[in-house]
Structures are given as C-alpha cells and as structure tokens.
Chains A and B, each alone.
Chain A
C-alpha cells in the first residue's frame, strides 16, 4: 500500500500497510537511522515454517480457549503479540500483549516469562521506569537468567544511569553471551566513544546471529549504521548490502541505503530507496527521512504530505500507550514547528527519559527557543560520556554560536563534519556553511 494517498485514508493505510513499530518520530535523517529496528524473525519460537508468528498466535489462542488462564500460554501469546506488532506495525498489538501478560500474572504472579515480557513491552512503549521495575522483578525471580538483566540495562540507559546499565550488560554477557548481549555491549561502547570496541562487539553479534536470516540482516544493518555514524560510508554500504543478501527485501536495509545514496549526492536514487522502505512499512523514522529528502530537493508539497502521515502515526502510537514526547519534540524543533510547545514537550519527554539523548533534545529545543545558556548546560550533559555523535556536536556548535563564541562554534561544526560529513541532510549543509 502506498503512502501517497489521501490524508483521510491514512490511518487505515497505516494499519493495513503495517507500521513496524517500536519506532519513534524523528527529525533529521540521522535520527531516522537510529530508530528501533524491530524485525520479524522467521524462526521465532523455533517454529517450523518461516514467518509463522500469525499461526503461532492462532495456536496459542486456541489453546487458551480450553484453558483461558494458563499462565505460560498467556505469557507466550503476549510475546507473540509483541512480535506481531513488529511484523505488522499495528500498535494495537501492544495493548493486546499487555492484556494477556497481565492475565498470566494474575494466574501466576511470579511467572518469569510474563514478567520479563511485560518489561520488554514497557521498553517498546518507552515507559522506562516501569520497564526498570519489571526488569528488576524478573531479576529477583531468577538472578541467573541473562535476559532479565538486558531489560534492566536497557531501561537504565534510557534513564541516564549508565554505570548501572553497563554493569547490567556485563552481567548479561557473563551469564550468557548472545546476540542480545553483544549488541548491547556494542551500544554501550558506542556511547562511551569506543568505536573500535563497538565494531568488535557487533562482529561477535553477527556470529551469534548465524542461521537466523532476519536477525543476521538486522545485525548487519546495525553495524552499517555504526560505520555510517563514523563517516565510513563504504563500509556501511557493504553491511546494508549484506543485509539484503541474507534477507532480500529487508526494509531497514533500503532505508539505510537511501542514506548512503544521499551521502553520495544521489538524491533521486535516495528518494527511490526510501520510498521503497516507506511503501512496505511506513515507519515514522522512514517517513521522516523521506520527508526531509523531499524537503531538501524542493518538493515541499510531498514533504508536507509526509508530515501529515507522521502525525497520524503518532496518534496511533499514543492511542496504544507508546510515549513519544521526546521524538515529537525533536521533530518539531528540527522543523521549526511550534517551538515554544516543542520545548515544553521536550521537558516532559526529558522527565521520562533523562538520558544523553534527552539532554541533547532538550538542549536543542532550548537553543532553538533562544535559551542558549540553559541549552549549554544540557549539551554538556549530552556529551558527558564522550560519545562520538555528529548531531550532538552540531547542536553544541549551534549553541556556542548563539552564545557568541564563534571560534568554539566552528570547532564543534568541524568536529561534527569530520566525524560524519553526512550526519543529516537538513543540518550537515548548515554545519558546512557555519564552519567556513
């Protein structure tokens, strides 16, 4: 289903066309690359036919007709619904998952699977304090189970409690090294500015994704994004193509190849690739990327259409319990939409998510509202881990410029561009202009 349809039909289009969720709204092209990469996994549950989550759901539902309160069946169905949300993009699966997982816990309050699945669900909905509590509860139920430590660590990262988060990831890797553990450790190293270590961990993650085509494709895409974020366009391109080789038609790879083409100046080709991703699954981050590509190529009408689509997706997410304040704030700040309200939204989002990303969005929102002294405080916080992130560097440059420190501003713009000259189709040209 195409997204180039009448606005009135958008909601239906999204549901039918399947927004792979977990995503969030975002402004810049960079943002688009960062988002959740949910993926369908053919061998989920070790089922015997690929992509069979739908039939698994049916089986579990029919099992529940005989025993509606069976804890494990409800817990499994809760997980299967989360997988369906990822496969179809229909966020109403989150509400369904919530329902059956809570039913499982009513029957069996200390059910580990249901507890940690609720934790995963809370993460998907960006309810990080809730996720932390659930993850901790899962750890208490079974300290020796690796997976629960991952839920705890993910929540702590989003809450800005990095030392505790990294300890949780280390614990996870000690208990059971796996794709999940390696990918998390890679991310933690990336946050710490350890690019080489992050790449190394992703290489181990690739090996732990062996024999699972979609997970392997996902891992290639993550590694490719890591390369792209550090200006290694060719290495990134290779990973995205490998993702397509192991999993043909993988939309996340098309989305990322669009960024590669944009970096190479092939904007027409970039738009074609991004449309290919959006046409299959109109994820908010894909739509945002497409919107910005239209914008920078002067196709303002098409860009506005994407804005409307993004708004609709946003309402669907909110209706199903997903918090996206920070994402909307960033989108609005990037695109200069209702700046004072965007700042308020950023503050609200920050309370739920006081991470370095929260710091950065709040800093950027403050700066765009002319509050540059306050902005500097949060920008410093955003960079406190030593993270190598061109967009955060760019925001800092804008803040320094606003404060009148031209030399310092230029230094940050140059840092951003030397790390990744293609960090944003919207903002990289601005950084170039101001760094000269």
Chain B
C-alpha cells in the first residue's frame, strides 16, 4: 500500500495505516511480574507491503504482456541496503483473471529463500522459485536468483550487468525478474501530506517535488506471451497479493499409525504427533489492484478484510466505498467551491475500478477491483513515453486500460474522483505537480531502472 496513505490520512480521516503494537509478552524466562513486552509501533510488514501493480502490453515486444508488482516501500539506498529483501516464509502472487469473474485463472507465485551466507555478510542474492498455477494446476516454471541489492561500486560492481543476468526464462514461456529496482512511482507526498496543499495552487502546473525520487523497491515481474493467457474477449484483469503462514498457539495433535519393531516383529502402533504450523495454511495479508484504492477509499476498519479478500467479493462487500468515495468529500473540504466533486452515486468510479469501461475493457457484471487490460489495444509509445494522463488524455493504451509505469495515477485518480468523467472540467485543476519519474525507465524488461546505490543515492531530490 502506498505510503501516500499516511499523508492523506492526516487530513482525510482515512486511516490507511495499520500500526501494530507488537508484544511478545513477558518472557517466563523473565520470571517476574514483568509487563507484557511493548515492542515497536511498526509500520506494516514492508516485505509484503504491495506498493504498485503495473500491467501493460510490452512496447518492445507487443505480443507479450508485462506484469510488475513492487514491495518493500521506500528503500533508502543509503540506509542499510543489506536489510531489504523478500520474505522467505511468505508467498507473492501475480494474479490474472482471464474471464472477468474476479478470481484468478493464472497465478505466478514467487517464493524466496534465504541467501547463503546471509545478508549480514553482504550477500543479498535470494534464490527463488516461480510456480505457475492455471485453473488450479500448478507447475514450477522457474528456479533462479535475484541480483544482489545495489550497494555500491565496490561491493556490487557492474550492477547493470548483474541485474541483466538476473532476468530469467519461464519454462512456460516468457521472462521473469525478481529483485531490487528503482521505484518507478512518482508523486509529491510532502505536499499531499500538507492538506493536499499542492505547491502551486491546486497543483496542475507542475513544480512538485517527487518524494519517491531515489528510493528503491523490491520488484517481481513477468513478461509472458499474450497467447499463453487464453483471455476471453482479449481482456485480462490483474492484481497482486501476498500471503503469510497462519499459526495457532496450541499445537494440533493428530494420531498416525506407525510400524515399530517389537521383539523382531513389525507391529502397528498409534502415535500422537504434534504439528505446529497448521497444515500449509496461508492467509492473504496484502492485495493490490487499482492504485490508491486501499489508501483512499477503504476505511481503516475494513482494511484487513479488504486485504484478505478476493476481487470477486468487492461488489458485495465494498461497493459503497467506491460509490461514495471519501476522497471526493475531502477535495471539496480542502478546496471549497473550487472543484465541486460529486460525492455520491459515483457509478463512473465504480465503472473504472470495478467493471471496466464499456467498449474498452469492460469485463461484464461481476464487480471486482482489478487492473483491466484490453490486450487488443496496441502500445501507443515506447516505455515511459505514453501520455501520463492515459485514457483521460485519449491515450487508451494507458491507465485505466492497464497501467504503465509512466501513468500519473495520482493526477488521474484525483481528477477522476473530482468528476472529470462526469463532465466536471474543474477536475483538471487538480494534480500534484509531479508528472514523471526522476530517472528514465529502461526500454526492455523489467523496465524499472536499476536502483540507486547507497554510494550515489539522490533520494528526495528536486525534480527539474
């Protein structure tokens, strides 16, 4: 979830952040009247915190579709580049719905292992496995390694080549990458934090400061042949999710029959076996389809539930948050009389986020939060050069038809919520003043640039 959440939170009354008080109680090893152990108020499990999902037809290989999902927000290259990594007991999923029912038909599941020797010894390479699950049937399609994190020219020299070498081939067709990247997202979080107080008026005139400049993320990405997806009506829906293992306090005991040798004879005995990790039970802890939904539309008390959910259920469980977006009310409060965003009956928003746009990427009646991509629409520009306002500016190869790296989803979302699709021209006044990423994307997969190293980091710098 984008940390923009926090920013808006303070002004919007949309709590986006799940601070958790970690306690582990007083150790009995403590043997005292010790208090429960208060531990850090921590941010949400960044290793499975999904910041952005992108899905687009690859401009350099138009017969393929690229799906990218970023985790571990705001990796500061100068602060502990060794600590950023993927979780090793979690599962990371790229979910693709090929028939519009809001459930995945094809899943690319990434599972990582610890690097050996461990990161403390400056090894941030993580082995990983990709499993492709198509309609319930799974198949391991890749085994390989991430590149190391970009630490600096002495520790990780020749980083471009290291990263290039880490692009692998899926046995089911296509390419795969997992590892550290420059965060392709851009936005003026500082200004948004300050009561959506954009640096110039309502923000549509540029001059913003890209708070994501110079920060890294951990990215998983596939580039697969369109033909391998068997999409109905050429439209796919994409979202990303991550799961963690469920634990229970008490062990689950089960009886098993074992053969033991008693006096030279094999006899069957029943033994009680304890298992602690209950089966292989994973709980989904994070999901992301359309950008900013989790932060801007879903209220605090429903966030865990939303993150645990499947898009299929969005229409029944969460429809009101889409139909009456709180962001609209916020915009009206912050710019009274200036924007006049419609606050109710926002079927236009429901359409964009939950069903798709008619004659472009509509997937039918099931309402589900996914990034919908009409694969029949040709890429309109090389990577990074599409119109940042996408469909709003007539570039139908961009968001909300899929999502490209260059799509300015903050401006698009603000304007959409402000009612641009309902003909409210004042919506165009809104923007955060940051219109593109601080570094150029690469022209080939995995597209997001190499991460800055701690040595040459430029985080938070003013965008020219």
Interfacial residues, chain A to chain B (CB-CB below 8 A): 22-24, 26-28, 30-31, 33-50, 59-60, 63, 66, 70-73, 75-76, 79, 82-83, 86, 108, 112-113, 117, 120, 123-124, 126, 141-142, 144-147, 150-151, 154, 157-158, 166, 169-170, 173-192, 194, 196-197, 200-202, 204-205, 207-216, 218, 222, 225-226, 228-230, 242, 245-246, 326-327, 329-330, 349, 353, 356-358, 360-361, 387-392, 394-395, 420, 423
Q: Please determine whether A186 and B24 come into contact, CB atoms closer than 8 angstroms.
A: yes
Given the known interface contacts A82-B41, A145-B301, A389-B31, the answer about A70 and B80 at a Cβ–Cβ threshold of 8 Å is no
Interfacial residues, chain B to chain A (CB-CB below 8 A): 3, 5-6, 9-15, 17-47, 72-76, 79-80, 83-90, 120, 189, 193-195, 211, 215, 244-251, 276-277, 283, 285, 300-305, 307-308, 459-460
Q: Please determine whether B195 and A357 come into contact, CB atoms closer than 8 angstroms.
A: no
| 30 pairs of residues in contact across A and B, judged by CB atoms under 8 Å | A26-B32, A28-B31, A28-B32, A34-B34, A35-B34, A36-B35, A37-B38, A43-B74, A44-B19, A44-B43, A46-B44, A48-B3, A70-B10, A70-B11, A73-B10, A141-B301, A144-B305, A150-B21, A169-B249, A173-B248, A188-B25, A190-B28, A200-B277, A208-B45, A208-B87, A229-B27, A246-B120, A388-B28, A392-B31, A394-B31
Cα distance A181–B42 when bound, in Å?
13
Cα distance A194–B37 when bound, in Å?
19
Q: Which of chain A's residues have a CB closer than 8 A to the CB of B9?
A: 72, 76
Cα distance A329–B42 when bound, in Å?
32
Q: Please determine whether B27 and A226 come into contact, CB atoms closer than 8 angstroms.
A: yes
Q: Which of chain A's residues have a CB closer than 8 A to the CB of B24?
A: 183-184, 186-187, 202, 205, 222
Most chain B beta carbons < 10 A, residue from A43, A197, A361: A43
Chain B residue at minimal CB-CB distance from A138: B301
Cα distance A205–B19 when bound, in Å?
16
Q: Please determine whether B46 and A212 come into contact, CB atoms closer than 8 angstroms.
A: yes
Cα distance A388–B29 when bound, in Å?
7
Q: Which of chain A's residues have a CB closer than 8 A to the CB of B18?
A: 145-147
Q: Please determine whether B27 and A75 come into contact, CB atoms closer than 8 angstroms.
A: no
Q: Please determine whether B87 and A207 come into contact, CB atoms closer than 8 angstroms.
A: yes
Q: Please determine whether B6 and A45 come into contact, CB atoms closer than 8 angstroms.
A: yes
Chain B residue at minimal CB-CB distance from A63: B10
Q: Which of chain B's residues have a CB closer than 8 A to the CB of A34?
A: 26-27, 29-32, 34, 37
Nearest 3 interchain pairs by C-beta: A229-B29, A34-B30, A391-B31
Distance (whole angstroms) from the CB of B195 to the closest CB of chain A: 7
Q: Which of chain A's residues have a CB closer than 8 A to the CB of B277?
A: 200
Q: Please determine whether A197 and B35 come into contact, CB atoms closer than 8 angstroms.
A: no
Q: Which of chain A's residues have a CB closer than 8 A to the CB of B46?
A: 43, 46, 210-212
Extra 7 A-B pairs, beta carbons < 8 Å, given A34-B27, A34-B29, A218-B40: A31-B34, A36-B38, A47-B3, A123-B36, A147-B18, A176-B308, A177-B244
Chain B residue at minimal CB-CB distance from A182: B247
Q: Please determine whether B304 and A146 come into contact, CB atoms closer than 8 angstroms.
A: yes
Among B10, B74, B215, the residue within 8 A (CB) of A76 is: B10
Distance (whole angstroms) from the CB of A87 to the closest CB of chain B: 10
Q: Please determine whether B47 and A208 come into contact, CB atoms closer than 8 angstroms.
A: yes
Q: Please determine whether A31 and B30 come into contact, CB atoms closer than 8 angstroms.
A: yes
Chain B residue at minimal CB-CB distance from A193: B28
Cα distance A83–B40 when bound, in Å?
8
Q: Which of chain B's residues have a CB closer than 8 A to the CB of A225?
A: 27, 29-30
Given the known interface contacts A63-B10, A178-B45, A192-B249, the answer about A330 and B23 at a Cβ–Cβ threshold of 8 Å is no
Q: Which of chain B's residues have a CB closer than 8 A to the CB of A66?
A: 195
Q: Please determine whether A207 and B89 come into contact, CB atoms closer than 8 angstroms.
A: yes
Given the known interface contacts A41-B41, A46-B6, A59-B10, the answer about A330 and B32 at a Cβ–Cβ threshold of 8 Å is yes
Q: Which of chain A's residues have a CB closer than 8 A to the CB of B87?
A: 207-208, 210
Cα distance A96–B22 when bound, in Å?
21
Chain B residue at minimal CB-CB distance from A246: B83
Q: Please determine whether A113 and B15 come into contact, CB atoms closer than 8 angstroms.
A: yes
Q: Please determine whether B308 and A175 come into contact, CB atoms closer than 8 angstroms.
A: yes
Q: Which of chain B's residues have a CB closer than 8 A to the CB of A353?
A: 33
Cα distance A207–B244 when bound, in Å?
10
Given the known interface contacts A72-B10, A147-B21, the answer about A204 and B247 at a Cβ–Cβ threshold of 8 Å is yes
Given the known interface contacts A150-B20, A169-B249, the answer about A142 and B302 at a Cβ–Cβ threshold of 8 Å is yes
Among B14, B32, B40, the residue within 8 A (CB) of A215 is: B40
Q: Which of chain A's residues have a CB closer than 8 A to the CB of B23?
A: 123, 150, 154, 180, 183-184, 187
Q: Please determine whether B29 and A230 come into contact, CB atoms closer than 8 angstroms.
A: yes
Cα distance A60–B9 when bound, in Å?
11
